[in-house]
Amino acid sequence: MNARKAKHGWIWTLFFSILSVLWVFPIVLVFINSFKKKAYISRAPFQIPTDKMFVGWDNYVNGIEKTNLIEAFGCSVFITVFSVAAIILFCSMTAWYICRVKTKVTTTIYYLCLFSMIVPFQMVMFTLSKIANMLKLGNPVGIIVVYLGFGAGLSVFMFVGFCKSIPLEIEEAAMIDGCNPLQTYFRVVLPIMKPTCVTVTILQAMWIWNDYLLPSLVLDQKRWKTIPMAVQYLKGGYGSVDMGAMMGTLVIAIIPIIIFYIACQKYIIEGVVAGAVKG
C-alpha cells in the first residue's frame, strides 16, 4: 500500500512539475524577447538572443517613453494600494457585523455579497460604465469605490469564514475592559484577522494590478492610464505592434506583482485554512 502511494506521489510530482514549467514558460519567453530586435521577435521567438539579435535595454527605454510608463505606474500603484486598503477595512468590518449581529438584514447582505460573485461582469458592464460616468467616478479616486464593490463578494465571504472562528469571549472581555465597538474591532478583532487580511490583500492586489477592462470602462483615458492600458497604446494603425517595446513594458509591468506574490504566497494557504474551521 505504501509503495503504491509512493508511486502515485512520484507521478503527481512529475505532473505538477511539468505543469509549473508550462505556466512559467510564457513569462520566460517574454523576458527573453524583451532583449531582441523587433524583427527577430517574430522570426525566432524561442531563441536566446545572440549578438545579432541583442539590443540591450533599448526596448525598455522605448517602451517607457512611448507609453509614459512612469505616470501609468504611479496611477496603478495608487489605485491598487488604496483599493486593497478599502477592501480590507470595509469588508472585514462588514463580515464582523454579519457574524455578530444575526438579523434578516445582515443575512440578506451576506447573500447579496455571495450573489455578486456569481454574476458575470459582462452583464453589468454597460450599467456600470453609465453609473460611473453619472457619479463622476472616472478618476483614480472614484475607481476605488468601483473596485470596493467588485471585491466585496469574495472578501466578505473569506472574512465571514474567519470571523466564525474568533471566540466571542475575547470581544466580551474587551468590552468589559471599556472598549467600545470600534476599539474592539481595531484593537482585538482586526489583529486576529491578520492571516485572512494578508490572503485577501494578495488576491485583490494581483487582480487590480493586472486588470485592464474595468479601468478602460471607468477611467477618463485622456487623463489617466494604468499599466495594462498603457501597454495597449503600443498598438499602431492596421494592427501593427511595436513588439520590442511591448515586451520590455510587459516585463516592467509583471516584475512588481511577481515579487509581491513570491514574498507573500505562504500566507495564502494559511489564511484560507484559518477561515475554514469554526472554533
pLDDT tens by residue, 60-112: 988 888 888 889 999 999 999 999 999 999 999 999 999 999 899 999 999 99
Q: Nearest Cα to 275, choosing from 192, 189, 159?
A: 159
Amino acid letter, residue 153: G
Average pLDDT value for residue range 180-208: 90
Residues carrying CATH 1.10.3720.10, the chain:
59-274
The domain made up of 59-274 has a fold known as MetI-like fold (1.10.3720)
Q: What is the mean pLDDT of the chain?
A: 86
The set of residues, in sequence order, having a beta carbon less than 8 Å from that of 150 and lying 6+ positions away, is 116, 121, 214
Per-residue pLDDT at 117: 87
Average pLDDT value for residue range 146-153: 92
Distance CA 256, CA 253 (A): 7
16-20, 132-136, 185-189, 236-240: the lowest-pLDDT one: 236-240
15-29, 134-148, 159-173, 230-244: the lowest-pLDDT one: 230-244
- Residue-wise pLDDT tens digits, 222-278: 889 999 888 887 776 555 777 888 888 889 888 888 888 888 777 766 655 655 544
